């Protein structure tokens, strides 16, 4: 069986250009900036060809494909393999290592995306049960105690690629709600176009949609990469005006259709050369990019280049923490959904590590977010992350505590777009010390609760109020009751029938965090939402 290459190698790009370049080049601001490309050196680059670098969001882990051209000439087969390198404390890169089986086989292998926690990889091509090449598409693998799991196919409805050059490239949006790919299909504008596919309720991806003529040219448009801000797209093209056989461009997403983009801008002569340049990838910080260019010997190497301000993604904040059981504070695995508090729209999913409960999410500035942690047999927990105003914090800790739930009732999620796993909903709301007035952010969390109750009309809930330990016990008990009633009043005003609602106060009796710090006391000033018979 002939195995086609999974990516557009520089060998292809150097000898093929489908379109003559136009004289007028749409450049980014400050394209002539003195930022010179730096070869990553022999620790990463070899006498072979290095392709498709993928930098982790932290900027500390680099995956790439190594392409043995001599092997192809000898056997007639493509055999890109996955290699990786880690950034050392000295800021140098470690000697690259072959990732080995089961991710590398006798076919073409490459990483297309790595999650923020660096525990899940998405791979080009699919694998059979024996770990052999099973066809085009993408697969997913997870890190375990014994190494990487056998890759499993990610289903894309209606996926196909007509391109006779045999290549396709992919990238995921932050949160994996959108999957961008470069393929040739019946409605392609050129030989290869950029397409987007959206995640479905069952975890598969829908039929690819052409991303439009603003991005796609009459030539080859490929090697897409979405930055951590979920709006900034980098890609390579030989159809947009440029300097060489293929150049790297930037475009910004203008709405949620993923087909409306700003006019692509060329990254300029500091990045693009007379030959082919492609596979531009940036960490969440957006300070440096990693890319592929031709070296002096005519082979492709991985380079680093500083990103000018005009080409940087929007700032993002690292939100990290752990998921614990509330009773004994032991770490646990959980699915973490994050959503826009204003709209209730789900933005993405993350999974905490089953060994230590840790998770990482990168969120753009300018919004308020809700984090909802779910696990079978536990109440779901919601916490607020307010990034509406930049305050100089680039890392925010949010631990999530889940309480065991003796009931197992299947609920539709707060956004109504997917079926929640068995468990009960618990909302966390914040109050000022000594007050029962709802914060505006608390009302936004309650709006997601309203949607959940509307989607599940059979559910009845009890609103349970809690306080920190500042003040007397009797005062705190009364205050907790007032907080619970304030939530019930809001739900009533939002149209939830009163017979489905009740309230109760516990005062300072059941803290979920030590009352020794301002953050701990803030977490204890809360209400919890539980289902009742």
Q: What is the CATH number of the domain that holds 143?
A: 2.115.10
User: Global pTM?
Assistant: 0.83
pLDDT attached to residue 71: 54
pLDDT attached to residue 324: 87
Domain boundary among 311, 339, 371: 311
pLDDT attached to residue 75: 52
Does 372 share its domain with 261? no
Does 271 share its domain with 192? yes
The three-state (H, E, C) secondary structure of 338-383, written as one string: EEECCCCCEEEEEECCCCCCEEEEEEECCCEEEEEEECCCEEEEEE
pLDDT attached to residue 145: 76
Query: Between β-strands 424-426 and 379-386, what pairing exists: parallel, antiparallel or unpaired?
Result: parallel
Does 365 share its domain with 505? yes
Domain boundary among 252, 284, 311: 311
Does 130 share its domain with 220? yes
Tell me if 275 sits within 8 A of 236, measured CB to CB.
no
Domain boundary among 293, 311, 329: 311
Instruction: Name the residue range of residue 405's domain.
Output: 316-531
Q: Determine the Cα–Cα distance for residues 503 and 524; give it in Å rounded to an integer.
A: 17
Q: What is the CATH number of the domain that holds 440?
A: 3.30.1330.60
Question: pLDDT tens digits, the chain, 533 residues: what are they?
Answer: 334 445 444 344 433 444 444 468 999 999 988 899 999 999 999 999 999 999 999 999 999 999 865 555 555 556 789 999 999 999 999 999 999 999 999 888 999 999 998 989 999 999 999 999 998 899 999 988 788 999 999 999 999 999 876 568 999 999 899 999 999 999 999 889 999 999 998 889 999 999 999 999 999 999 999 999 999 999 999 999 999 889 999 999 999 999 999 999 999 999 999 888 999 999 999 999 999 998 877 789 999 999 999 999 999 999 999 998 877 778 988 889 898 888 878 888 888 888 889 999 999 998 889 888 888 777 777 788 889 887 778 899 988 888 776 555 444 444 433 333 323 444 456 666 677 788 777 787 788 788 878 888 888 888 888 888 988 899 999 999 998 999 999 999 999 999 999 999 999 998 877 889 887 887 788 888 877 76
188 assigned to some structural domain = yes
Does 334 share its domain with 477? yes
Does 453 share its domain with 526? yes
Token reading at 394: 């680039």
Does 241 share its domain with 332? no
Does 377 share its domain with 526? yes
Tell me if 448 sits within 8 A of 344, measured CB to CB.
yes
Does 88 share its domain with 220? yes
Question: What is the three-class DSSP state of 179?
Answer: strand
Number of domains in the chain: 2
Does 307 share its domain with 344? no
């Amino acid at each position: 069986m002939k195995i086609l290459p999974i990516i557009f190698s520089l060998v292809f790009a150097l000898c093929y250009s489908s379109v003559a370049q136009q004289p007028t080049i749409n450049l980014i601001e400050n394209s002539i900036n003195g930022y010179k490309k730096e070869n990553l050196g022999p620790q990463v680059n070899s006498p072979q060809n290095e392709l498709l670098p993928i930098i982790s969001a932290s900027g500390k882990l680099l995956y790439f494909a190594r392409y043995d051209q001599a092997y192809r000439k000898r056997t007639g087969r493509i055999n890109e393999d996955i290699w990786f390198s880690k950034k050392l404390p000295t800021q140098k890169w470690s000697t690259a290592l072959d990732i080995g089986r089961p991710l590398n086989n006798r076919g073409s292998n490459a990483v297309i995306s790595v999650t923020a926690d660096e525990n899940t990889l998405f791979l080009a091509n699919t694998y059979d049960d024996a770990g052999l090449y099973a066809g085009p598409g993408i697969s997913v693998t997870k890190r375990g105690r014994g190494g990487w799991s056998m890759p499993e196919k990610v289903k894309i409805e209606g996926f196909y690629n007509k391109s006779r050059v045999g290549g396709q490239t992919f990238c995921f949006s932050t949160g994996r709600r959108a999957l961008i790919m470069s393929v040739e299909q019946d409605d392609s504008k050129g030989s290869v176009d950029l397409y987007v596919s959206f995640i479905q309720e069952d975890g598969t991806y829908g039929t690819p949609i052409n991303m439009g003529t603003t991005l796609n040219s009459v030539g080859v448009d490929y090697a897409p990469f979405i930055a951590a801000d979920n709006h900034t797209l980098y890609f390579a093209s030989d159809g947009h005006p440029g300097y060489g056989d293929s150049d790297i461009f930037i475009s910004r997403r203008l709405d949620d259709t993923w087909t409306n983009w700003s006019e692509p801008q060329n990254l300029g002569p500091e990045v693009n050369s007379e030959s082919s340049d492609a596979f531009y990838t940036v960490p969440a910080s957006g300070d440096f990019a990693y890319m592929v260019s031709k070296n002096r010997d005519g082979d492709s190497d991985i380079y680093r280049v500083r990103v000018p301000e005009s080409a940087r993604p929007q700032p993002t904040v690292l939100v990290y923490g752990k998921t614990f059981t509330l009773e004994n504070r032991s770490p646990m695995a959980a699915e973490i959904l994050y959503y826009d508090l204003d709209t209730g729209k789900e933005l993405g999913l993350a999974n905490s590590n089953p060994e230590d409960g840790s998770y990482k999410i990168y969120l753009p500035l300018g919004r308020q977010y809700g984090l909802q942690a779910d696990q079978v047999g536990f109440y779901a927990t919601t916490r607020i992350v307010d990034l509406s105003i930049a305050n100089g914090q680039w890392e925010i800790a949010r631990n999530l505590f889940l309480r065991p739930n003796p009931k197992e009732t299947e609920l539709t999620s707060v956004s109504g777009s997917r079926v929640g796993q068995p468990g009960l909903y618990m909302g966390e709301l914040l109050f000022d010390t000594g007050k029962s007035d709802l914060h505006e952010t608390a009302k936004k969390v309650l709006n997601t609760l309203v949607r959940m109750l509307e989607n599940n009309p059979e559910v009845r809930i009890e609103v349970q109020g809690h306080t920190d330990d500042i003040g007397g016990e009797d005062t705190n008990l009364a205050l907790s009751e007032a907080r619970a009633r304030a939530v019930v009043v809001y739900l009533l005003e939002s149209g939830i029938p009163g017979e489905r609602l009740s309230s109760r106060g516990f005062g300072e009796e059941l803290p979920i965090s030590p009352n020794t710090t301002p953050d701990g006391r803030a977490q204890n000033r809360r209400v919890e939402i539980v289902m009742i018979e």
